[in-house]
Amino acid sequence: MPKGFKGFQKGHKGFIPRERYKEIGKKISQSLTGKKLSLAHRKKLSIVKTGKKLPPFTEEHKRRIGLANKKKIHTKGPKHPSWKNGRTVSRGYIFIQASNHPANHNGYVREHRLVVEAQIGRYLKPEEIVHHLGKRSDNRPKMLMTFVNDNIHKRFHKNPDSVKSSEIIFDGRKLRY
């Protein structure tokens, strides 16, 4: 099979000869008997019935298409029409645009890591894990904990009392605000 071949579409017969247009037109007109149609719709139906091609775009229509395409901005960052101030949400986690951060992924960093880094005053190492005490999107310092590695994080999930204080880098439960 050639590359990009998607198979035959169900019911698709390919090229329709001009003679078949008359049969199609009769079926359409029979199905629409008694219905009120707009002038534009009737013109389109007459084109289908006769088998003629659609008329070419007028100059005014081409100008309007050009203006619509100019309004579409295909850029990144603040000029993009769907820009949300560098914030995005994926699988419940909030990502902040920080392209100069050492742990960025496609220019974004998880917000909870940035919050903990601000609290402890240094960048987190890749093996250090931030745990949410509530929802993933709740990134208040009092709702976050940071562990030395993922094994300790998993141990905390099984039994919170089994984790030593030396294995916790940051504990938001101890904050008073």
Q: What is the pLDDT of residues 21-79, one digit of tens each?
A: 667 767 777 777 777 777 787 777 777 667 666 667 788 888 887 777 766 656 677 77
CB atoms within 10 A of CB 128: 20
Average pLDDT over residues 71-90: 76
- Cβ–Cβ under 8 Å, residues 116 and 146: yes
Residue 51: what pLDDT? 66
The backbone torsions φ and ψ at residue 5, rounded to the nearest 5 degrees and listed phi first, read -75, 125
DSSP assignment of 61-82 equals HHHHHHHHHHH----SGGGSTT
Nearest to 168 by CA among 147, 143, 149, 150: 147
Which pLDDT score is estimated for 1? 44
Query: Could you tell me the pLDDT band of residue 104, with boundaries at 50, 70 and 90?
Result: confident
Stretch among 70-79, 96-105, 111-120 having the lowest mean pLDDT: 70-79
Residue length, the chain? 177
Taking only the tens place, the pLDDT of each residue in 2-17 is 455 444 444 555 556 6
How far apart (Å, rounded) are the C-alpha atoms in residues 111 and 140? 10
Is the pTM for the entire model greater than 0.75? no
CA separation for the pair 25, 44 (Å, rounded):
11
- Residues above pLDDT 90, as percent of the chain: 41
Contact 112, 132 (CB under 8 A): yes
Report in angstroms the alpha-carbon separations of 96 from 110, 115, 116.
6, 11, 14
Domain limits of the chain? 18-71, 111-174
